[in-house]
């Protein structure tokens, strides 16, 4: 079994029962979306009085949507290829509604509604999962990204960027840890030991594995070399991650 934390800065943070973690960065895709949005605003400000759109603006809107959907569709495919190879049959996906209402900043909310298209993305994940014979179960995990996995604190923890900090001294990658905690809650068992997380970035064509956050430079290069073989991200076996 596997749990996904679906977010904005990281589109997907994923923890499998066997301790593998995948992280799909939303940064590049969002930045591209934001640039097109600014270009649209600029064109709109130059429209003659009484005009609200133009063919050029409509074209940019279509392009913006197409690029976002392309990145998200490719993500869904990449992710479920991995999970299918790992023998995963059930994936838990969190419903973040509660988080959006209570904890997220205004900027995060804007990102969510315009860029992220949460419902559409979850539907896409479910459709793709079905193709791989994987079942998706939606659950309420609205608290997990705020909870300290060490002491259970939920009120006094601080999220800053990708980090979760707790007064008890705990500090970790918030989204990856949320997906781990989410999985442990759903399965009722502890996950571990954890392999080093694999991070994926979008280059407008495909999702590629990049160096682990805590890798030494030498290990990072090795991984990048492996990743470039065959024009696709390397497989779990190729990377030395044991499959089920
Ligand atoms: Zn704590």
CA 52 to ligand 1 center in whole angstroms: 51
Q: How far apart are CA 92 and CA 140, in angstroms?
A: 10
pLDDT at 22: 93
Task: Using alpha carbons, list the distances in angstroms from residue 158 to 94, 165, 181, 190.
Answer: 20, 5, 17, 24
CA 212 to ligand 1 center in whole angstroms: 25
CA 4 to ligand 1 center in whole angstroms: 22
pLDDT at 117: 74
* Helix or strand holding residue 91 (H, E): strand 90-95
CA 162 to ligand 1 center in whole angstroms: 16
CA 15 to ligand 1 center in whole angstroms: 20
Q: What is the pLDDT of residues 174-202, one digit of tens each?
A: 888 888 888 988 889 888 788 888 999 99
Q: 236, 231, 227: which is closest to 209 by C-alpha?
A: 227
CA 179 to ligand 1 center in whole angstroms: 17
pTM confidence score: 0.76
pLDDT at 62: 95
CA 82 to ligand 1 center in whole angstroms: 32
CA 178 to ligand 1 center in whole angstroms: 13
User: Residues for the chain: how many in total?
Assistant: 244
pLDDT at 239: 38
pLDDT at 7: 78
pLDDT at 5: 85
CA 38 to ligand 1 center in whole angstroms: 40
Alpha helix positions (H), the chain: 27-45, 55-85, 97-102, 106-110, 118-131, 174-187, 217-228
Q: How far apart are CA 65 and CA 87, in angstroms?
A: 33
Collapsing DSSP to helix, strand or coil, 186 comes out as helix
CA 151 to ligand 1 center in whole angstroms: 4
Domain ranges of the chain: 2-137+191-231
What backbone torsions phi and psi does residue 89 show, to the nearest 5 degrees? -115, -20
CA 16 to ligand 1 center in whole angstroms: 23
Contact 95, 139 (CB under 8 A): yes
CA 154 to ligand 1 center in whole angstroms: 8
pLDDT tens series, the chain, 244 aa: 899 888 777 889 999 999 999 999 988 888 888 899 899 999 999 999 999 899 999 999 999 999 999 999 999 999 999 999 999 999 999 765 444 444 455 566 566 566 777 778 889 999 999 999 999 998 876 556 677 878 888 889 887 778 888 999 988 888 888 888 889 888 898 887 888 889 999 988 899 998 554 443 333 333 433 333 333 444 444 333 333 3
CA 157 to ligand 1 center in whole angstroms: 7
Q: How far apart are CA 161 and CA 149, in angstroms?
A: 18
CA 143 to ligand 1 center in whole angstroms: 14
CA 232 to ligand 1 center in whole angstroms: 39
Residue 122 in tokens: 């979850």
Q: What is the pLDDT of residues 112-123, one digit of tens each?
A: 566 777 778 889
Contact 179, 21 (CB under 8 A): yes
Apex 178 CA angle, 175 and 182, nearest 5: 145
3-state SS track over 200-233:
EEECCCCEEEECCCCCCHHHHHHHHHHHHHHHCC
CA 122 to ligand 1 center in whole angstroms: 30
Give the burial class of 51: count Cβ atoms within 10 A of its Cβ; 0-12 exposed, 13-18 middle, 19 or more buried: exposed
């Amino acid at each position: 079994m596997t749990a996904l934390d679906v977010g904005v800065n990281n589109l997907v943070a994923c923890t499998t029962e066997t301790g593998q973690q995948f992280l799909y960065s939303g940064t590049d895709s969002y930045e591209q979306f934001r640039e097109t949005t600014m270009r649209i605003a600029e064109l709109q400000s130059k429209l003659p009085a009484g005009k609200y759109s133009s063919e050029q603006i409509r074209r940019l809107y279509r392009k913006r949507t197409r690029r976002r959907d392309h990145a998200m569709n490719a993500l869904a495919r990449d992710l479920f290829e991995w999970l299918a190879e790992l023998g995963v049959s059930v994936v838990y996906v969190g419903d973040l509604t509660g988080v959006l209402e209570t904890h997220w900043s205004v900027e995060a909310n804007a990102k969510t509604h315009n860029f992220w298209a949460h419902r559409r993305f979850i539907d896409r994940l479910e459709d793709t999962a079905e193709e791989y014979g994987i079942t998706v179960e939606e659950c309420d995990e609205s608290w997990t990204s705020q909870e300290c996995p060490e002491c259970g604190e939920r009120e006094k923890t601080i999220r800053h960027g990708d980090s979760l900090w707790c007064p008890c001294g705990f500090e970790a990658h918030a989204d990856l840890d949320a997906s781990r905690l989410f999985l442990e809650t759903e399965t009722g068992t502890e996950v571990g030991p954890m392999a080093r997380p694999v991070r994926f970035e979008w280059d407008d064509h495909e999702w590629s594995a990049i160096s682990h956050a805590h890798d030494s430079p030498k290990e990072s290069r090795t991984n990048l070399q492996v990743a470039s073989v065959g024009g696709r991200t390397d497989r779990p076996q190729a990377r030395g991650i044991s499959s089920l």
